[in-house]
């Protein structure tokens, strides 16, 4: 109990010591179906769970392991993925019935293909769960037909389709990490398909070499002749807490053939060590999710091989965060060549006491060692030290996404420098493209691959073809690694900081980098537009000229105007400017989406510029000229300062709607702009009259065109909430309610007045009885004259009240009539 409390306190203190994680925002985001990011999809109504991918060496054929089927997809075409052949491989009705009788759900009883590896140039070795009775077979790559009858796959493929496994074939032999029993309680790392004097090997089951592992990946290092397995398991060396998860790397030698007496048909070279994805004074990210290897550059030793992995944490302090760590092969080898922990046979507890080495665990060639040496390596297989990440720091941390899979690539930029690019797949269906810089990770873009979260996913990278294949439960999606044509200007191409892309001054386009093009505009490390673009476009070519007239917005005085400002990217910041005027907070409202709102007055008419600022570079995104609709006094054209020094053009001639940028750093000579001529179709203004002297204006039309790109993709901007529509609706309802109440009040007053003053038919009133005949005759004459002359007396002109045509005084009698 004390140990538990001490651990909780330690974790809490480490949580407070952890520095604030910098939020990583993707510069550009592409939703599903966006024309700015072309994706190719394959799906079929009779195919599902296409999650196991195998890519041919030339990258033209993709083999897919699905539910009850193996597919051969032709991916050589640019615009489509074509199904070339399909192998149906499903359990019989009897197999399904037996699976159901074992207490399994029928949805889990089909044959889910979990192993798909090239055996040689003509055949594929495939294994499936096959109704919780794993089976394996050989498949011809040309005909996609089985060469032999399927045989048992126990120890090669998991029983449960939801259990993770790993498999790799080297020199015709299959190395797997999976479970070897129906209940999943016997994890095993084994070798199969051995021939001649070589025998199949597996781990010894007596000492618990694996503790409830989750296998992630396996990798072959040719120079070492070793296979490395990556997995997570329960760390029994941390006995002061239950179910403490640790990430592991283990190794076995390909030359291992087992011991002669001790460890017969068992590994003699198995060793494992902890992968510690942790920065100083921070909690560790202890659960590995995926890992991929990055081979060294040409001419570098194999020890420079890097392994990039995704890690999450089981601690609530880091809940919802994902970290990426990289490990160097030389560091892994150093840990395996060091000291090992000692396992007590009686208590099964680990200790770190120093002991004399009888043999070096993990060393190749121990199959001829003595029984004493083999017993030593059998009990001492856990390295004492942990493998630390490169630089003892995290490669990147994301607080917004839970990453599940990754693949890594080294890209040579235009300056001949190598940059590491990560492709990270999130659980919510986004693929993040990240470049690793000295200043930290930079997310170039995020691509929504699928809308609904998928249960099982996999990534396969084709470097020669420049494609990434994502396997989901609903189909296969192909994503190009480069998207250079999306960046329509030199500034946008440079600001993307994409090693795949550079600005070609000859074609005036953002193109993919290659070894033949060395004069491309590119700045991956700093993203400096002025150095990369001004030098290439020769500033002297662009002489001073007038500012574009911009979009004409016709308004009436006292109208509410809202001017939209598209954002160049999610990392940009929008600013508004007026020539020779300051945007006072008393008159102008800057909204969250970057737009500007104000009331149209003589002081607010004129030109408005929307500027986008990113990484120290400014460009004009929109220009508006707000003008009164019809004013008896002509408006004086508004002058705007134009720099004499040549600006950077941010649009090509074939991209209408995107204005030329202005360099904000140079403000010398100002020129007067002529009044723009409005044309039909330039703008559509919607005006609505509400009550007295209250008009709202919403500018649309060509202002939206400012946000369009050449391919129809709108520029991205963060949309904030707008309550103008709600305000208008509430105001209308309020006016209607007040009008109804006033009408009802007047009607009731009129009825009461009529009932008080109207004469009763057939019955003379008391007043008429008191009047003399002369008075009655005079009253009738007065009424006759009033009707004849068409006079109408109002309450504001006399002290009486007009009710139903009768005139009464304040005392209820006729005026000038004696009481």
Domain CATH number, residue 657: 2.60.40.10
**Residue 603 contacts residue 587 (beta carbons within 8 Å):** yes
CB atoms within 10 A of CB 44: 14
CB atoms within 10 A of CB 741: 10
pLDDT for the residue numbered 573: 92
pLDDT for the residue numbered 21: 54
Residue 642 included in any domain: yes
Do both 712 and 729 map to the same domain? Answer: no
Do both 667 and 580 map to the same domain? Answer: yes
Residues 6+ apart with CB under 8 A from 660: 548, 620, 647, 649, 650, 651
Do both 594 and 563 map to the same domain? Answer: yes
SS3 433: strand
Q: What is the pLDDT of residues 130-155, one digit of tens each?
A: 999 999 999 999 999 998 889 999 99
Confidence band of 685 (pLDDT split at 50, 70, 90)? very low
202 pairs with which residues across the strands? 266
pLDDT for the residue numbered 614: 94
Residue 493 included in any domain: yes
Tokens linked to 277: 């994805």
Phi/psi for 6 (5° steps) reads: -65, -40
The position carrying tokens 């520029």 is 715
Confidence band of 772 (pLDDT split at 50, 70, 90)? very low
- 770 vs 85, 608, 774, 781, 812, CA distance in Å? 115, 80, 12, 18, 14
Do both 703 and 668 map to the same domain? Answer: yes
Q: What is the pLDDT of residues 447-463, one digit of tens each?
A: 999 888 776 678 999 99
Do both 653 and 748 map to the same domain? Answer: no
Q: For all residues of the chain together, what is the average pLDDT?
A: 79
CB atoms within 10 A of CB 475: 19
Measuring CA to CA, which residue among 321, 415, 283 is closest to residue 12? Answer: 283
553 pairs with which residues across the strands? 626
Q: What is the pLDDT of residues 344-378, one digit of tens each?
A: 777 778 887 766 778 888 889 888 889 999 988 88
The DSSP 8-state label assigned to residue 532 in this structure reads I
Residues 6+ apart with CB under 8 A from 347: none
pLDDT for the residue numbered 474: 87
Do both 647 and 583 map to the same domain? Answer: yes
pLDDT for the residue numbered 283: 84
SS3 16: helix
CA distance linking residue 172 with residue 105, whole number of Å = 35
How much of the chain exceeds pLDDT 90, in percent? Answer: 53
Confidence band of 548 (pLDDT split at 50, 70, 90)? low
Do both 798 and 651 map to the same domain? Answer: no
3-state secondary structure 462-520: ECCCCEEEEECCCCEEEEECCCHHHCCCHHHHHHCCCCCEEEECCCCEEEECCCCCCCC
pLDDT for the residue numbered 706: 35
Tokens linked to 400: 């917004």
pLDDT for the residue numbered 91: 96
- Pairing mode of beta strands 52-55, 61-66: antiparallel
Measuring CA to CA, which residue among 405, 407, 406 is closest to residue 455? Answer: 405
Residue 793 included in any domain: yes
CA distance linking residue 432 with residue 595, whole number of Å = 28
SS3 161: coil
Number of structural domains found in the chain: 4
Question: Of the ranges 286-290, 361-365, 790-794, which is most confident?
Answer: 286-290
pLDDT for the residue numbered 747: 86
Residues 6+ apart with CB under 8 A from 727: none
Q: Which domain holds residue 742?
A: 723-755
pLDDT for 8 beyond 80:
no
pLDDT for the residue numbered 355: 67
Do both 672 and 818 map to the same domain? Answer: no
3-state secondary structure 443-459: EEEEEECCCCCCCCCEE
Lowest mean pLDDT among 206-220, 310-324, 505-519, 656-670: 656-670
For residue 491, give the CATH number of its domain. Answer: 3.30.1680.10
Confidence band of 508 (pLDDT split at 50, 70, 90)? very high
Phi/psi for 748 (5° steps) reads: -65, -45
- 128 vs 66, 148, 159, 180, CA distance in Å? 9, 15, 8, 14
175 or 79: which leads in pLDDT? 175
Which region, left, alpha or beta, applies to residue 527 given φ > 0 means left and ψ of -120 to 50 means alpha? left
pLDDT for the residue numbered 456: 63
- In degrees, rounded to 5, the angle at the alpha carbon of residue 721 between the alpha carbons of residues 718 and 723 is 150
pLDDT for the residue numbered 788: 40
Choose one of 473, 495, 525: the last residue of a domain. 525
pLDDT for the residue numbered 723: 65
Measuring CA to CA, which residue among 49, 60, 53, 98 is closest to residue 82? Answer: 60
Q: What is the pLDDT of residues 86-141, one digit of tens each?
A: 999 999 999 999 999 988 999 999 999 999 999 999 999 999 999 999 999 999 99
Do both 489 and 636 map to the same domain? Answer: no
Do both 717 and 750 map to the same domain? Answer: no
Residue 717 included in any domain: yes
Residue 750 included in any domain: yes
DSSP H helices in 696-765: 702-705, 724-757
Strands (E), 390-463: 396-398, 403-412, 418-426, 430-437, 440-448, 458-462
**Residues 608-633, mean pLDDT to the nearest whole number:** 86
Residue 196 included in any domain: no
The DSSP 8-state label assigned to residue 367 in this structure reads G
Do both 629 and 687 map to the same domain? Answer: yes
CA distance linking residue 418 with residue 284, whole number of Å = 29
Measuring CA to CA, which residue among 511, 465, 454 is closest to residue 487? Answer: 511
Q: What is the pLDDT of residues 463-503, one digit of tens each?
A: 999 999 999 988 999 999 999 999 999 999 999 999 999 99
Lowest mean pLDDT among 176-185, 260-269, 795-804: 795-804
Q: What is the pLDDT of residues 196-247, one digit of tens each?
A: 889 999 987 767 789 999 999 999 999 989 999 999 999 988 877 778 999 9
Residue 568 included in any domain: yes
pLDDT for the residue numbered 695: 29
Confidence band of 446 (pLDDT split at 50, 70, 90)? very high
DSSP H helices in 32-160: 93-101
Residue 486 included in any domain: yes
**Residue 614 contacts residue 571 (beta carbons within 8 Å):** yes
Do both 677 and 740 map to the same domain? Answer: no
54 or 721: which leads in pLDDT? 54
């Amino acid at each position: 109990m004390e140990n538990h409390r001490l651990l909780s306190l330690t974790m809490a203190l480490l949580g407070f010591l952890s520095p604030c994680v910098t939020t990583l925002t993707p510069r550009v985001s592409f939703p599903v179906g966006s024309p700015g990011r072309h994706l190719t999809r394959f799906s079929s109504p009779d195919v599902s769970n296409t999650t196991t991918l195998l890519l041919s060496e030339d990258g033209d054929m993709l083999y897919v392991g699905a539910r009850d089927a193996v597919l051969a997809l032709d991916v050589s075409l640019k615009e489509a993925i074509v199904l070339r052949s399909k192998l149906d491989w499903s359990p019989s009705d009897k197999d399904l019935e037996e699976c159901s009788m074992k207490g399994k759900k029928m949805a889990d009883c089909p044959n889910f293909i979990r192993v798909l590896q090239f055996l040689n140039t003509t055949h594929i070795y495939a294994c499936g769960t096959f109704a919780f009775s794993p089976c394996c077979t050989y498949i011809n790559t040309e005909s996609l037909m089985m060469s032999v009858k399927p045989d048992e796959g126990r120890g090669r493929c998991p029983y449960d389709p939801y259990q993770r496994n790993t498999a790799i074939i080297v020199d015709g032999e299959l190395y797997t990490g999976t479970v070897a029993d129906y209940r999943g309680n016997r994890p095993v790392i084994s070798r199969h398909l051995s021939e001649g004097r070589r025998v199949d090997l597996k781990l010894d089951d007596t000492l618990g070499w694996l503790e409830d592992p989750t296998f992630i990946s396996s990798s072959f290092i040719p120079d070492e002749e070793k296979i490395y397995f990556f997995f997570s398991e329960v760390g029994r060396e941390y006995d002061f807490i239950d179910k403490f998860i640790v990430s592991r790397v283990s190794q076995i030698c390909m030359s291992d053939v087992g011991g002669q007496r001790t460890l017969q048909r068992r590994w003699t070279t198995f060793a494992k060590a902890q992968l510690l994805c942790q920065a100083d004074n921070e909690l560790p990210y202890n659960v590995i999710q995926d890992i991929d290897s990055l081979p060294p550059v040409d001419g570098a030793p194999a020890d420079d091989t890097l392994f990039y992995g995704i890690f999450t944490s089981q601690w609530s302090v880091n809940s919802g965060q994902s970290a990426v760590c990289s490990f160097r092969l030389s560091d892994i080898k150093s840990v395996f060549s060091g000291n090992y922990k000692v396992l007590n046979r009686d208590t099964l507890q680990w200790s770190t006491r120093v002991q004399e080495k009888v043999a070096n665990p993990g060393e190749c060639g121990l199959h001829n060692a003595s029984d004493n040496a083999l017993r030593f390596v059998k009990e001492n297989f856990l390295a004492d030290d942990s493998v630390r990440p490169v630089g003892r720091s995290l490669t990147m941390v994301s607080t917004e996404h839970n990453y599940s899979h990754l693949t890594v690539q080294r890209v040579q930029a235009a300056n001949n420098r190598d940059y590491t690019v990560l492709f990270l797949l999130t659980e919510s269906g986004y693929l993040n493209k990240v470049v690793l810089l000295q200043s930290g990770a930079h997310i170039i873009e995020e691509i929504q691959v699928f809308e609904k979260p998928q249960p099982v996913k996999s990534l396969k990278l084709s470097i020669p073809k420049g494609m990434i294949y994502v396997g989901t439960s609903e189909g296969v999606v192909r994503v190009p690694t480069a998207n250079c044509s999306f960046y329509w200007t030199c500034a946008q191409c440079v600001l993307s900081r994409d090693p795949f892309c550079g600005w070609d001054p000859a074609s005036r386009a953002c193109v993919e980098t290659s070894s033949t093009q060395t004069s491309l505009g590119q700045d991956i490390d700093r993203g400096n537009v002025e150095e990369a673009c001004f030098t290439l476009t020769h500033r002297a070519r662009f002489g001073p000229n007038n500012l574009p007239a911009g979009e004409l917005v016709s308004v009436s005085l006292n109208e509410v105007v809202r001017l939209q400002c598209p954002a160049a990217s999610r990392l940009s910041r929008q600013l508004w400017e007026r020539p020779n005027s300051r945007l006072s907070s008393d008159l102008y409202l800057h909204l969250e989406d970057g737009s500007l709102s104000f009331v149209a007055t003589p002081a607010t008419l004129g030109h408005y510029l929307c500027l986008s600022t990113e990484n120290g570079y400014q460009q004009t995104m929109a220009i508006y000229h707000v003008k009164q609709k019809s004013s008896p006094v002509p408006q004086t054209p508004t002058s705007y300062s134009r720099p004499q020094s040549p600006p950077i053009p941010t649009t090509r001639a074939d991209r209408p709607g995107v204005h030329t940028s202005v360099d904000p750093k140079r403000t010398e000579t100002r020129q007067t702009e002529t009044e723009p001529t409005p044309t039909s179709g330039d703008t559509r203004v919607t005006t609505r009259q509400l009550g007295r002297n209250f008009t709202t204006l919403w500018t649309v039309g060509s202002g939206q065109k400012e946000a369009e790109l050449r391919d129809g993709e709108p520029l991205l901007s963060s949309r904030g909430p707008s309550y103008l529509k709600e305000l208008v609706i509430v105001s209308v309802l309020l006016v209607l309610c007040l009008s109804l109440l006033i009408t009802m009040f007047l009607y009731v007053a009129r009825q009461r007045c009529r009932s008080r003053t109207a004469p009763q038919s057939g019955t003379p009133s008391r007043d008429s009885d008191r009047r003399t005949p002369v008075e009655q005759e005079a009253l009738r004459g007065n009424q006759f004259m009033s009707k004849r002359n068409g006079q109408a007396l109002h309450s504001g002109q006399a002290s009486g009240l007009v009710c139903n045509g009768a005139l009464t005084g304040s005392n209820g009698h006729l005026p000038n009539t004696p009481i």
